[in-house]
Structure 1
Amino acid sequence: MPPKVAGALARYRIAAFIVGYALIVLCIAIVLRYGFGVDQAVAIWGPIHGVLYIGYVLLAFDLAYKDRWSLVGTLGVLLAGVIPGVSFVAERIVHRKVVARQKV
């Protein structure tokens, strides 16, 4: 695997885990807001998650560009960052395919 792809993959994997956990925390914050009236939870965590997701998108695009992913594969990985828990699954699939030098 070319070094530039390896570096991009390492950064993407970290971002995928961070965004995955951040999205779970956001879901908990939403439950706190609508279930228990704690509006501050989403007010504080929502923007934090937004910034983290933007970082995820940028790092996913970086890896997609360097590894020459298909448009469908790239969009699928970006979508995985907005569904709770799916970023963990997508990270495993991406890691396996990139290491095996298969197209995403």
Structure 2
Amino acid sequence: MSENTGPQGTPRPVERTDGKKVPLPADASPQKASHVRIARRKFAGTPSQIRGSLTFYKYCAWISGTFLLLLVAEMISRYVFGHDLIAGGRDAATGATVPVGWLNLETGNLVGGLNLSTWVLIIHGWFYVVYLVACFRVWFLMRWPFPQFIVMALGGVVPFLSFIVERRIHRETLSQLRENPTSAKRY
């Protein structure tokens, strides 16, 4: 007799109808299992609140992920090649205006202007805070376990992860909303 069969070789149910695995007593039979009450998932908000926070999270994930990729390119440019991207600077030797150019950090070939490399750092840093708020909002409304929040938060610091996690979170959230239409909190 295997662990998935009961007495007389009858198959013993191992999953609830909503797909969650639960332990069943040894004497469980398909007839008894059909009378088991299924606990529905509870959310901390209405479906419209969850969908709204999910949309905000989606945009934040894409913006944060894009700025993270720009940040990686900026770090490679600065620490591997020794250059920063400058807008509106002047050539140090001739004094000619350079609309957009590379500042050699060793020679200082450009003076003045706006250091776009530094602004990528600043924008990504501040937007990561907004991204964390968006992650927290979805995580809180869906009542997921804490490790889920950690994975979502890592999307803003690991290149390309925000795009992957966002897609999975979006699909999982909509799936859970469809499976549990009456589980949302009503005001």
User: If the length of structure 1 is used for normalisation, what is the TM-score?
Assistant: 0.90
Partner of residue 13 from structure 1, selected from 20, 37, 58:
58
In structure 2, what is the Cα distance between the partners aligned to 1:44 and 1:20? 16
**Structure 1 residue 56 corresponds to structure 2 residue 94:** no
1:63 aligns to what SS in structure 2? Answer: helix
Show structure 1 runs of 5+ residues with no match: none
Q: Following TM superposition, by how much is the alpha carbon of 1:36 offset from its aligned partner in structure 2, in angstroms?
A: 2.4
Q: Following TM superposition, by how much is the alpha carbon of 1:76 offset from its aligned partner in structure 2, in angstroms?
A: 0.8
Q: Identity rate of aligned residues, in percent?
A: 31
RMSD of aligned residue pairs (Cα, Å)? 1.5
Q: Read off the aligned partner of 1:50 and give its amino acid letter.
A: G
Q: Following TM superposition, by how much is the alpha carbon of 1:49 offset from its aligned partner in structure 2, in angstroms?
A: 0.5
In structure 2, what is the Cα distance between the partners aligned to 1:61 and 1:98? 14
What residue in structure 2 maps to residue 87 of structure 1? 162
Q: Read off the aligned partner of 1:33 and give its amino acid letter.
A: R
Is the contact made by 1:32 and 1:41 (CA closer than 8 Å) also made in structure 2?
A: no
Moved over 2 A (4+): 38-44
Instruction: Indicate the structure whose relative CO is greater, using CA pairs within 8 Å and at least 6 residues apart.
Output: 1
Query: Is the helix fraction higher in 1 or 2?
Result: 1
Q: Read off the aligned partner of 2:65 and give its amino acid letter.
A: G
What residue in structure 2 maps to residue 100 of structure 1? 175
Higher CA-based Rg: 2
User: If the length of structure 2 is used for normalisation, what is the TM-score?
Assistant: 0.52
**Structure 1 residue 45 corresponds to structure 2 residue 120:** yes
In structure 1, what is the Cα distance between the partners aligned to 2:119 and 2:51? 34
Show structure 2 runs of 5+ residues with no match: 1-45, 85-114, 178-187
Query: Is the strand fraction higher in 1 or 2?
Result: 2
